[in-house]
Structure formats: C-alpha cells, structure tokens
Structure 1
Amino acid sequence: MKKRAGLAAAAILVTTGLAQAQSLEPFRYGTVATKGDAGFVYMGAEDGFDNSFGLDIDMQSFKGDSILLRGLLAGELDAYIGNPGGPMIAASKGADIKIIACPWPGLTYALFTKPEITSVDQLAGGTIGVSAPGSLPDLFSRAVVKSAGIPLDAVNFTVAGSDAERIAAVSADLITAAPSSSEFNAKAPELGLHMLVHARDVVPEYVRFCIMTRGDIVRDSPDYIASFLAAQLKGFSFALQNKEATLALSYDKAELPPEDEAPVMIYDEVVEFGAVDPEMTVDVEKLKWLSDLLGETGNMDAGFDPATMVDTSVLEDAKALLAAQ
C-alpha cells in the first residue's frame, strides 16, 4: 500500500477491516509531472479512497501529456488524467480512446513573460516555449495568440521542456514567453517574470483535465472503471472540503519545501473560481470548442465531433457506487 502523507493520513483513515482485508485489484493511473496541485489529483489514489472500492491505484507521473497518451495506447496505463487535446487528435485518426470524466474544467494556466511585455500583441516575432505539438502548453499558447488576432505564423513555437524548464528559459532570455500552471505566479517575481494573461480571461472554454481510458477497457471491464471513477469522485470531493489535508498531500507528492507558496496559491484559486468539479461532468460543448481550435491550428482535420469519444455511462455507475457506501 502507498505511503500516507502527514495530515492527509489522519484525515482519510476511513477504511473498514473488510476493505483492508480484501484482495485489491491494481489500477495503473497516469498524470503529468507533480506540481503544487498534486493533492487534488492524487487524493483519489490514497489509502481510504481507492481500497474502499477494491482497487490499489498506482499513480505514475510522466513529463507530458504525449507520453501519457502513448502509454495508454500501448496498454501500459489503464487511464490517465490530462488535457483532452491529444486524445482528441488521436481519436480523430481512429484511436479507440474514451473521455469518461472531466474533474478539472477550469484551466488554471497562464502565459508568463518578462515585465516589459505587457500585451499579447508584443509576442509577434517572438518565441513561445511549448511542449509537444497538440499538448496543453502548445494548444493553450496558440489559443492565446489567436485570441489577440495575431496570425499563428507571426509567432515561433518551440518545444522547450516541462513547465519549470520553459519558465527557466524565459527567465534566461532564451525565449519570449512560456505557458505554465498559474501556481508559478508565486515564484514569478523572483525569476524576473510576470503573468501576461490567465486562461480564464482569454480562453474560458478551455478544459484543463479530463480522464481518458481506452474503449476496450470500458466495454470489457465497466465495473473496474466505475470503481476507479468512484474513488476519484470521493477524492476530489474530499480535497475540496479539506484544505489542510490536500495541501499536506500536495507538499508531499511534489516534494516541495514548506516555504513554497504554490500549493496554497493553486488551492485558493481552484476554490475561488470553481476550477475543479467534484461531479466530474463532461461538458461536450467545451470539447467541441477545443475540437474547433484543433482544426483551426491544423492539429487535426476540421469537423471531428468529440461527442463520439465521450462515454459517461461508467461515471453514472461510479456515482451509484459512491452513493451506496
């Protein structure tokens, strides 16, 4: 079983003797590299959540969404939480991928630059550091540029690593701007940077995280997926209602020093703006907006209907499981 973390452990020791004694089924669950918001994402995999539904969820952290997608398609993951852009591109080309829940509809993301850049217009002719094509950093940056009416070919987009690596590149004047989780605003001043725009102000339709799995798993093992989603429902709900436990888990998983304010900043932002949805509702209209963006940016052929890759039947089953506890 996984290690319990500080305050989180005390808060979630709710398993019964029966749940502890039963044989737990492993579930391989992927996420992007841990940051200050890790408490929200990891809570549903902690003891007291996963094992109360007969699972032992193994959280696996990867550097970016594209690696998670490859792992899912290769059968190395059972599900992952990430941006739905890459899976949508894959589904438009025939991949059997399903969006089964969207726990983080609010995009807690921003574009960071040096203070002398005060408007998106000034990015014309500059370079924005992103991640792999079709990833959240790439699509978000292109959406910001488009929102300002700037032709995409007026800006250079270059792969520049993880959030932390991209931010460091801006600080070192290697690139003009970089997208990152908005929690980096806590460290921006000491790096000589500032937040140019926040996602909620320019692309409020952009969904941050959905949960994806393969269609064959949904068809062949619906109870398995429903149990997993029930643990996630329970975890996100608990995280929103228990700040100290969630912060303790964030600091532990991201291995952050106590003086780092990022976990506190992102928690407060999530709560203030309702960025996390404990019901994990899939908003198909927002996914259609993303599909249109992907068509406009040339990442995939226009006209793909994301509703064809949505399957919320297992989410409804998960809610029934949770209600029965």
Structure 2
Amino acid sequence: MATTIRALMGVASLVGATLASGIGPAEAADAWRHGVVEAKGDSGIIFMPTRFSEKYDIDLTMIEFVSSTVPVKALLAGEIDSYSTTPLVAIAAMSEGASLRFVGCNWPGMTYDLYGQADVKSVEDLRGKSVGVSGPGSAPDLFAREALRAGGVDPSEVTFANAGGGGDRFRAVVAGVVDATATSSEFEQEAEARGINVVARARDATPNFVRNCLVTTEANIESRRDVLVRFLASQMVGHAYAMDHPEETEALARETAHLAPEDTSPRFIFTEAKESNAVTPDFAIPADKLQWNVEMMQRNDRIREAFDINAFIEDGPRQEALVLTETE
C-alpha cells in the first residue's frame, strides 16, 4: 500500500494526516513516511517506487512539501522517517550537530537551470536585477549564487526574493514578478515557448551540485534498520523501473502532478535524466561531490565551518538493500 499526502503548508498537521491515511499497528507491513518536494514533471521517477513498496512489506506514505527546506524540519520532529531532496538542508543541519545521515543519492545529477526574462540573455545581464529562490540556503538560492559567480557576477549585485516552490518560481518569471529564477530544467521547453531564456545550466556552471539524496536519522538506522533496508530496496527497484519505462513514467507524472496534456515537462526531464545519467538506481553516494557542497556552503556563509561529510554517510543499509534487490 502507498499513500500520498500533500502537506504543502508545513509540518504541524503531519501526525494527524498520517494517521488518517490508514496506517496503523494492525497492518502487516511496516509503515514508512517519506518526504519529497511537491510533484512536478519529475514525479513519475520520484513516485514510481510507490508501486514496489508492497513487494518489500513497506506501507509507504509519500508526503509532499512546497519547499526543500521543510522536510528536514519534519524529519527532526519525528513526523517523517526519511526524505529525498537537495542535500544542502541536511548539510546545514549536520553542521549544527543534527544526527542525520545520508543513506543514498537517487538523483545525483543536478538537472537545474537559471532562467531569465526576455531581456536577460546572459548571467551578466542580471546585475541590479531580482532572482527568485525558495529561501536562504535552499538549492535554488545556492545554485543561483554559484551560477552567478561562474558567470562573473557577484551575488551581492542582485536581489534575492522568496518566490515559492519550483513551479511558482518559474511562473513568477513569466509574470514579471522577478527577473530570473533557479529551478528544474524540466521547464526549458515552456521557457522557449514563452520567450524566457536559459542563462546557465547546472551541468556546465556547477557540475558538483547534487540534486537529490535520501536522508534519515541515526536513530532510525539503529532501531529500524531492517525496515530502512527494505524501503531502500523498494526505492531502488522503483527508480530502475522508471528509467526503463519512459511512457509509464510519463503517465505517472501526469497523474501525480495533475499536469495538462500539452505539458511536455515529464518527457523532457526524463530524457535529460536518462541521457546525462542523472538518476542512479543503485543510490551510490558521491562523497566527493557532497564534500564540495559542504565547502561551497561555507563559502556562501550558510554554515560556520566546513566538516568531513564522511562522518555523516551511512552506506551499510544501501549495500544491504542492493543485495536484497539482487536476490529477489
């Protein structure tokens, strides 16, 4: 069984919402609550594992959040068991002593762009203009800052504005609310149709950025390791299936994100992820890239001191999950 809850207003209502989904102690399968950022064109890949949770005796609840900065708060509050989004918010919490661990990276390739209005044809054109992000220290915020630097513009030369989730930020550019934004590359085709320019791509400007990793608590690893291993196995199998079945993955994205028939983002993001090997179903953890992200965050004054990321990587459950997927 798998359930989806949209907790887009924040954390407070999650406990009641999860209980209302039908999960309870009488269920034979083990309950697991997994947080993700709100469904977009990439949701066919992200949500495909829900179809494999029952195979591994996992009663899965997928909880959507409007921003990548919120799931870590829910995890630390004990309202979810894991989440998959940018590793940056976890790194920030780890730097403050949070007992969080990276247990896999499902989407290490950074399929992200910096978009600008029609008069913004290059990064240099952003001097004195506004850039929409989803909050300080978020992936859009830090990617935008690094993309600006790569293009020869100091971040102090632009104004950053909170413009909501990925889709909201793109629409803010279209509406002229902000001059530019950083968000998923899945909007490229719509951008072209609307006269919006792509002024930087993550794979060129910031190749060491990581888009999504799975994070849980040290306590979950110690007390629910078997459940975590089976959850990871279902995620691995689901991601592998998604990348091998493009039409089914696109259909799931349209259903999950309620996309219009003319929306081409599911096909675009799938093709880009496939061609660039951005999605890795074995969930290998790129420690070297994560270490770069730690140092990048210090450079941007988002953490006080850099630290060794290896102390916050727990690869054992992933390795066990790989064995489990190979034996079934």
The two structures have a TM-score, normalised by structure 1, of 0.91
Gaps of 5+ in 1: 5-21
Give the match for residue 29 of structure 1. 34
Give the match for residue 180 of structure 1. 183
Give the match for residue 113 of structure 1. 116
Give the match for residue 294 of structure 2. 291
What SS class does the counterpart of residue 282 from structure 1 fall into?
A: coil
1:247 Cα deviation after fit? 1.1
Q: 1:176-223 deviations in whole A, cap 9, x for unaligned?
A: 100111111121134331211111111111110000001110111111
Are 2:277 and 1:274 equivalent residues in the alignment? yes
Q: What pairs with 1:129-144 in structure 2 (closer than 5 Å)? A: 129-144=132-147
Q: 1:16-75 deviations in whole A, cap 9, x for unaligned?
A: xxxxxx8111110110010011011111122xx111111011111110111111111100
Distance in 2 (alpha carbons) for counterparts of 1:238 and 1:174:
39
Gaps of 5+ in 2: 5-26
Cα contact 2:3–2:61 (8 A) shared by 1 = no
The two structures have a TM-score, normalised by structure 2, of 0.90
Q: 1:244-294 deviations in whole A, cap 9, x for unaligned?
A: 111111111011122211101111111111110111110100001111110
Give the match for residue 207 of structure 2. 204
Among all aligned residue pairs of Structure 1 and Structure 2, give the percentage whose two residues are the same amino acid.
33
Cα contact 1:130–1:137 (8 A) shared by 2 = yes
Counterpart residue identity of residue 78, structure 1: D
1:164 Cα deviation after fit? 2.0
Alignment equivalent of 1:213, drawn from 208, 213, 216: 216
Cα contact 1:294–1:302 (8 A) shared by 2 = no
Give the match for residue 306 of structure 1. 309
Distance in 1 (alpha carbons) for counterparts of 2:248 and 2:153:
43
Distance in 1 (alpha carbons) for counterparts of 2:3 and 2:150:
44
More deviation in 298-307 or 71-80? 298-307
Distance in 2 (alpha carbons) for counterparts of 1:222 and 1:76:
18
Give the match for residue 45 of structure 1. 50
1:2 Cα deviation after fit? 4.1
Equivalent pairs counted in the alignment come to: 306
What SS class does the counterpart of residue 70 from structure 2 fall into?
A: helix
